[in-house]
Amino acid sequence: MSGPDTTPHPSFALQGFYGWVEPLKGIHYGPGSISTALPYFIENLGVKKALVVTGKSLHDKTDVVKKVEGVLKSVDAYGATFWEIGEHSPIAGIRNGIKAFRDAGCDFIVAVGGGSPIDASKAMLYYMHQEYKVEIMPQIAIPTTLSAAEYTVGAGYTDDNGVKVAVTDPKLVPSGIILDAELTLPTPERLWLSTGIRSLDHAVENLYRPLIPPPLKIMCYAAIADLFKYLPESKANPQSVEVRQRLQLASWMSIWPHSRLKYSALGLSHALGHKLGAAYSIPHGITSCLTLAPVVNLKAEVASQEDKECLAASLFYLGKPSTGSLEGDVRMLSSLITELVSKLGLQSNLTHYKVPKEDVRQLAVSSLGSAEDPHVGKVMKLLEDLY
């Protein structure tokens, strides 16, 4: 997958570009909304038969998929269910999913679960478009985690060599998104909370991602504040549907749907996460728990003045006083993220995931995109400190 965008860009503070993502027809949210939202999208999209794409655990261990199937059957739009999507969306599952889609005569996908089934569904639709010369068909996304894959035009998956790669097309964003917090109740606590840190990763890295318009950054600050508030509340009271719904809304604000003039990874934390996740079987959310705080700490040293100001402004939204210096404020944000990860019981290290220390240099280079990047040594040190 692509590394951080290091191309020099003029400030987007006063001049820039914002584009809506054309396929997205709407986002329904609210507890129990699946029963009305799914038929609404089916009617408005003019689609007939769905392939439900999900993961094995969600299919076998919960009734979430059965609820979705039931709604589809009630409007005579159910085709089949495919549940062979593994973590990080392996290409084998994508190929098998395409076969299941075509065998059942489907014309749209309902993706249920976290980032893996949603991204796998995008990849399936992309490769059917490429191979069979058909228009990219619709997807309706029903997320049960906070990873926020449903808001983007890209799809990350794992190739035959175990490397995380991506495809992107403006038409890959889902045509409909349903945020029904009741469907998240069976999501395992560690998965739910760690993908909440993934959303925090989106919000924080959007503050220094090039070409992000100011209104989207304001939503990122709102997302940061709500994630800091409601993730601990969700851990303390996991059955609170209201708190879960607020977290789904925060996840939405963390990476508001929009089209860009150029696609790139959000930032260094995401780039490191992509390299670590698929290669060493580290879940999406846990990679953010590992990398976000140290990357923010590094930004206090290497970021531009404008990017430091954007990060430092987070303290106001978190109700924290300034330390008196810009760099100090950025480091304070890093410390607050570390404290949040700890409070949620999500601390981990690279030793636990058996990441060989001899891989550190290659991880740093591939995440930055070049062995000539001036920060290779600093990123290597960042990784070494994660053992």
**pLDDT tens-digit profile of 88-107?**
788 999 999 999 999 999 99
Mean pLDDT of the chain: 95
Write the pLDDT tens digit of every residue in 27-49: 999 999 999 999 999 999 999 99
Angstrom CA distances, 180 to 56, 141, 177, stand at 20, 11, 10
Q: How confident is the model at residue 1 (pLDDT cuts 50, 70, 90)?
A: low
Per-residue confidence at 339, pLDDT binned at 50, 70, 90? Answer: very high
What is the rounded CA–CA span in Å between residue 72 and residue 110?
10
Place of tokens 């889609």: 101
Q: In the predicted model, what is the mean pLDDT of residues 261-281?
A: 86
Using one digit for the tens of pLDDT, what is the confidence trace for 198-218? 999 999 999 999 889 999 999
* Mean pLDDT of the region 349-368: 97
CATH topology for the 189-385 domain: Dehydroquinate synthase-like, alpha domain (1.20.1090)
Residue 152, amino acid = T
pLDDT of the residue at 183: 98
Per-residue pLDDT at 263: 64
Eight-state DSSP code of residue 135 = P
Q: Is the pLDDT of residue 8 over 80?
A: no
Portions of the chain given CATH number 1.20.1090.10: 189-385
Structure tokens at 177: 């998104």
86: confidence class by pLDDT, cuts 50, 70, 90: confident
Q: What percent of the chain has pLDDT above 70?
A: 97
For residue 3, pLDDT over 70 is answered with no
Q: Is the pLDDT of residue 362 over 90?
A: yes
In this model, does residue 2 exceed pLDDT 60? no
Supply the pLDDT for residue 270: 95
Looking at 18-145, list the stretches that DSSP marks H as alpha helix, in order from N- to C-terminal side: 34-45, 56-61, 64-74, 91-103, 115-132
Taking the CB of residue 35, how many other CB atoms lie within 10 A of it? 12
The pairing of strands 176-179 and 50-53 is: unpaired
- Assess contact for 332 and 315: CB atoms under 8 A: yes
Segment 292-318, tens digit of pLDDT: 999 999 999 999 999 999 999 999 999
Of the listed ranges 179-188, 212-221, 261-270, 289-298, the least confidently predicted one is 261-270
Q: Is the pLDDT of residue 264 over 80?
A: no
Q: Considering the domain 33-179 in this protein, what is its CATH number?
A: 3.40.50.1970
Q: pLDDT higher for 2 or 282?
A: 282
Q: Specify the higher pLDDT residue, 14 or 209.
A: 209
pLDDT of residue 265: 63
> Which tokens hold the place of 242?
């209201």
CA dihedral 252→255→257→260, nearest 10 degrees, is 180
pLDDT tens digits, one per residue of 122-154: 999 999 999 999 999 999 999 999 999 999 998
Phi, psi of 18 (to 5 degrees): -135, 135
Could you tell me where in the chain the CATH 3.40.50.1970 domains are found? 33-179
SS3 136: coil
